[in-house]
Amino acid sequence: MTFDKPLRILSTSGSIHGALRIADLLPFPAQTNVIESTQDFAQQGCFVSHNTASVPASARGRAVVVGLQRVANDLTANNRLVESLQKAPLRAIYTNTGTAAADIRKAGLAAECLYRPGRLTPPSEFQPLPDRRRVLLYWKGDHPPMAAYREAVSNLIKSLPDIEFWTFPDDEPPVNAANVTALGRVRMDEVVPQVHGMVRICDRYDYGRSTFDVLLHGRWVVYNDMPDEMFSYSVPIGEMAEFIQRMVDERSDERGKRQFGEVGAYFSEAALRRRWTDAIAPFFSGDKMLDDSSVAAIERFCTASHRIGDAQVAIDQKTGEVRQTGAAKDFTVRQLPDGSPEDLTTGPALMKGAGVIEFATAGGGKRWNAFVGKSPVGYFMTSPMPAEQFEVCDAVHGYLHPEQALALYHAGVVAKDGDELVEIGAYHGKSTNFLAEGSQDTTATITSVDTFENHAMTEGLQPTFDAFSANVRRFGSRVRPVKGFSHDVVDQTPDQINYLFIDGDHSLKGCVTDIKHYFNRVAEDGFISFDDYYDRSRTKRVKTVVDYFVDIGLLKFITNARSHAVTLKASATCVLHAPKSRSKGEAVHAALNATGQAAFLLSGDVLKGRDDHAHLADGAIHAASYIVAINHFAVPAAVRPKSTLVLLKAATESLLADETKQKALREAPFKDLIIHEDASVDALRRSGVEARSIGLEGYLSELSANQRRAR
């Protein structure tokens, strides 16, 4: 499951929370986006289409559809779409209920049920059924799937005068009767133990949260038209009164206990994650995988097992469950309060794939905090940080969420003797403290680059160097401040950086500038992390930059710790082509990929602009491991030593006739210059320009020969 890029989940706008839940359930990084146009389906790579089967035929071979009942309704009502899907099939269709899957199969398409409840909290033990003859009735009178059933629901209530109906979530009951009470919105954990079961009468619809809550308590749920579900009943309206009467009369605690155990096990978070991983991952196993070197580097950062004293704590990389092994097993493990449950980027530990957990010895004498996250190799856990150390570092003035702070501490722990850690943007030294504390058992050093005049901060200009110095004094010479703007002081930073933390100017141009100047100083398989990855404010564009460099293959996304994105530096060749030479650029791109080299295409005209695309492209060619330029002279002089220029016939003739171009090549030569095979290199050599007259075909043959030698 070590995918080269995060899995994409494309969702209809009204179903985005369900799409985020799918991302939660998968043990590897996934990016969730709202579908805005058919162009969203055109991007390379496989994806999950959430709650719509209207995927263009050209993209269906890369798509798994996960849908609600709405998808089943759309398919059963649209024969043309079904016929189109039969001719150009999707990889798979999963639904949130068995009934929806059965409907789709009847329409002539393969489909399976894969329940996707929100995170559930089952009761700790089964509570006996009440003596009172009472049931819940789910009622929303203005809800279209339910509105047409008011008379049927009213008649049902009246036909069972000896049974008390509690209705929710509407404040008004469907009928005024002595045996009905409208509860309005309720806490299910308080109400469900007081009833025998729940009734839902409506058109075919999805399992709601209330259904799962009732089932988890060992109570029955009955629908009027959901015939293909694992745990609920489906009874026609005409037979519903008899069914409810019988179930209440039986008052079977034995059946309730059995259901309590079966439903709790089936819908446990670990079981859900395992089923979703087993179902989704195989469809994407043909996607581009990370190379062995990248996997090894990511596994070095994304550790799954740690020691705390005599105990060993580990996280299951597939399910996210934390376990204890070893001599001492006296730790308690709890999730620390998240504080912002509606945050869509993270959430409670093991729910959104990111969170803080606490280990404590018996009696709470000693405590440690750790961050749980997702990576391409599965769930991982940062090195547990002693609480007293965390409190000292956290007392430094700054803006770090605990998840971000623990990720920085872990980056320090992962560091080896002699490693160089560099941060761009230090403020008062809070991030510096966590990096230095984590690496305290090594000889690793931290270089902190900042103007120390509070540039790019909301408080306005003010000196910060004295505060920074006081806050890092205890680390001595292991912390080295460098004053100045990052792009002006590059030469004062280490030539080889093992971990780079970019937390300076968060604008698109500022973030690209830092990559442009520091990327090639980062060691192969070194780590680069970015602050405010998920900050979508107008002036902060970090996510745009990171996603671009991930997409072209220069970064491998590892994890996100509350908007702290951790990536792995990678290598990729830029194929830079003149606007009219795209087909030739595509040929070189394909040849490079055939040799196993990562490569990305870039049109030279993009570099001429001054917009975001131009800034991103400029950063890309400076960060690229190598450049092959097709008919494009205007390659910046700074990157020509790592570039090959390939000229086709007309461009070759233009060069031979233009002394100005020849002079430019003498002053800033390319590493390799290839001209058309019919041209003579003698004239160029006489003017001081070295070239090879093998043409594009000869260059492609060389790439093919390199591939054969590698094999």
C-alpha closest to that of 585 among 650, 644, 656: 644
Q: Residue 106: which residues within 8 A CB-CB, separation 6 or more? A: 76
Q: Check residue 1 and give its pLDDT.
A: 46
Q: Is 237 within a domain?
A: yes
- Cα–Cα distance between 131 and 404 in angstroms, integer? 51
For 588, half-sphere exposure in the C-beta direction (CA atoms, 13 angstrom radius) is 28
Within this chain, do residues 447 and 388 fall inside the same structural domain, yes or no?
A: yes
The DSSP bridge partners found for residue 168 are 138
Same domain, 510 and 606: no
- Confirm whether 689 is domain-assigned: yes
Name the residue among 525, 531, 573, 528 with its Cα closest to residue 553. Answer: 573
Q: Is residue 272 part of a domain?
A: no
- Is 339's pLDDT higher than 50? no
Q: Which residue has the higher pLDDT, 354 or 419?
A: 419
Q: Positive or negative, the Cα torsion across 628, 633, 634, 637?
A: positive
Question: Backbone phi, then psi, for 529, in 5-degree steps?
Answer: -115, 155
Tens digit of pLDDT for each residue in 153-174? 999 999 999 999 999 999 999 9
Radius of gyration of the chain (CA): 31
Tell me, yes or no, whether 620 and 536 share the same domain. Answer: no
Q: pLDDT for 240-270, tens place per residue?
A: 999 999 999 999 999 999 999 999 999 998 8
562 and 599 both lie in a single domain? no
Question: Does residue 346 surpass a pLDDT of 60?
Answer: no
In whole angstroms, give the CA distance from residue 655 to residue 413.
55
Tens digit of each residue's pLDDT (9 = 90 or more) over 79-133: 999 999 999 999 999 999 999 999 999 999 999 999 999 888 889 999 999 999 9
Q: Residue type at 339? A: G
Q: Which of 64, 79, 113 is the last residue of a domain?
A: 113
Are the C-beta atoms of residues 378 and 354 closer than 8 Å to each other?
no
Is 348's pLDDT higher than 80? no
CATH code of 83's domain: 3.40.50
Give per-residue pLDDT as tens, 484-498.
999 999 999 999 999
Domains: count for the chain: 4
Return d(Cα 42, Cα 57) in angstroms, integer: 11
Tokens of 170: 């509407």
pLDDT beyond 90 at 374:
no
Assess whether 538 and 414 both reside in one domain.
Answer: yes
Where in the sequence is the domain holding 369, given as residue range(s)? 293-569
Whether the CB-CB separation of 159 and 175 falls below 8 Å is answered with no
**Average pLDDT score over the chain:** 89
Is residue 266 a part of any domain in this protein?
Answer: no
Sign of CA dihedral 114, 115, 116, 119: negative
7 pLDDT above the threshold of 90: no
- Residues 394-409 pLDDT 10s: 999 998 999 999 999 9
Q: Which helix (H) or strand (E) holds 700?
A: helix 695-710
Task: Give me the pLDDT at residue 343, please.
Answer: 30
- pTM of the complete model: 0.78
Same domain, 554 and 579: no
Considering the chain, what percentage of its residues have pLDDT values greater than 70? 92
487 and 417 inside one domain: yes
Residue 488's CATH number: 3.40.50.150
Spacing of C-alpha 380 from chain mean position: 14
Residue 300 sits in the same domain as residue 391: yes
CATH number of the domain encompassing residue 175: 3.40.50.2000
| In a shared domain, residues 556 and 579 | no
Q: What is the pLDDT of residues 567-619, one digit of tens each?
A: 999 999 999 999 999 999 999 999 998 888 889 999 998 888 888 999 999 99
Domain finish residue from 554, 569, 584: 569
Q: How confident is the model at residue 14 (pLDDT cuts 50, 70, 90)?
A: confident
Are 237 and 304 in the same domain? no
